[in-house]
Amino acid sequence: MGFKLNITLLFVLLFRASYAEGQSTVFDVKKYGARPDEKTDISQALLSAWKEACNSPTPSTILIPAGIYLLGAVKFEGPCKAPLKLQVEGTVKAPADPAQFKGSDGWLTINRLNQFTMTGGGLFDAQGKFAWSKNDCAKTGKCSSLPTSFRFNFINNSIISDITSLDSKLFHVNVLGCNNITFQHFNITAPDESLNTDGIHIGRSNGVYIIDSHIGTGDDCVSLGDGSKQVKVSNVTCGPGHGISVGSLGRYPKEEDVIGFRVVNCTFTNTMNGVRIKTWPASYAGVASDLHFEDIIMNNVGNPVLIDQEYCPYNQCTKSQPSRVKLSNVSFKNIRGTSSTPIAVKLACSSGFPCEGVEIGDINLVYHGTQGPVKAEVSNVKLKVSGKMIPALP
């Protein structure tokens, strides 16, 4: 029911956005000194345009016209007096050296807005290749030294569409504390070897919709952190990447529940994982429920269907103690295609807090490799099975 209500609200927002476009005052960054020469930092010009647009009592559009621009770290603060649109028609490049982002955890940070639109067909090139060589997450387990390309903090009733994010230094997008925000025709591109470049990471937000988009990167295409509620991913292609994930959960105290996640009509190609839920062993207590994955195509995907409650990257955990994150009301339906590993279905739930209300059915996953027949592994869960199952459940 929550999804239907928010989709209705989305159409209302689209109507308002189209109305606002016709009435909008345009603030062109070139009039504030921005030059499309790839050398002159347009940060101050963009911030000046933002300040005037944000203070306008009527709907406003900030325009970055065609051309190639250099942009350092910027932070846009709201609230604004009226709906605001950022119309990006050109290519915006970040400095390649991450040292130029010292003291900043984001490239483009947007805070506390209502009825915000970002569109225009533009491209944001974070030039992350040099930064990936500086990534020391595997050694330290900490990844905070590099900037996320887009940070959307406390943004409500907003739409991000027809924008491309290229080669982020760390995450492409981080969504925090947002309500009713939609990503449509939002394209993310980075090579498989780009470390920790999650496509869209969501935390403590309610009503996030990712639709009709392509995400190819070096980590999760979409990942849900704690407090994510009523998130829907539909008609998205994922690959390369690590798949679409709930979690990881349970690593930190006082994490909020994850409730309501639907992944439908999506295609995964050459990804490390498909759809997965991951929680840490020896974790803090938590809850994740109402998680549904349906009508999905897997093309040469490792671990196409995966619940992993012993998630332990970098070997920095105690596997002898079970995860305390409780998973319930989970379904995997109509998932078909090819697995790159012999274990096409693995449901490894917590021995201390077994999964409840898990349904699986109409699975048709085949494996053409040399490591034996395709199979499924199941532990600490009672399953409701409907329809055909390939591989067969033990």
- Total residues found in the chain within this entry: 394
**Burial of residue 372, with CB atoms counted within 10 A of its CB: 0-12 exposed, 13-18 middle, 19 or more buried:** exposed
Query: Distances from the Cα of 154 to the Cαs of 78, 162, 253, 351, 368, in angstroms?
Result: 10, 21, 22, 37, 46
**HSE on the CB side for 149, CA within 13 Å?**
31
Distance between CA atoms of 311 and 247, rounded to whole angstroms? 10
SS3 letters across 268-292: EECCCCCEEEEECCCCCCEEEEEEE
Catalytic residue among 201, 242, 292, 368: 242
Residue 378: other Cβ atoms inside 10 A: 18
Q: How far is CA 11 from CA 7, 15, 295, in A?
A: 7, 6, 25
Q: Are 161 and 185 in contact (CB under 8 A)?
A: yes
| Residues near 253 by beta carbon (within 8 Å), at least 6 away in sequence | 284
Token pair for 374: 């395709």
What single DSSP character describes residue 31? G
Residue 136: enclosing H or E segment and its boundaries?
none
CA 107 to chain centre: 16
Query: How far is the C-alpha of 329 from the C-alpha of 227, rounded, in Å?
Result: 17
Known catalytic residue at 242: yes
CA-to-CA dists, residue 264 to 75, 120, 199, 335, angstroms:
34, 27, 18, 10
Of the candidates 235, 237, 246, the residue with the CA atom closest to the CA atom of residue 212:
235
CB 350 within 8 A of CB 309: yes
- Distance CA(95)–CA(268), nearest Å, equals 32
| Gap between the Cα atoms of 98 and 117, Å rounded | 28
Query: Mind telling me the catalytic residues?
Result: 242
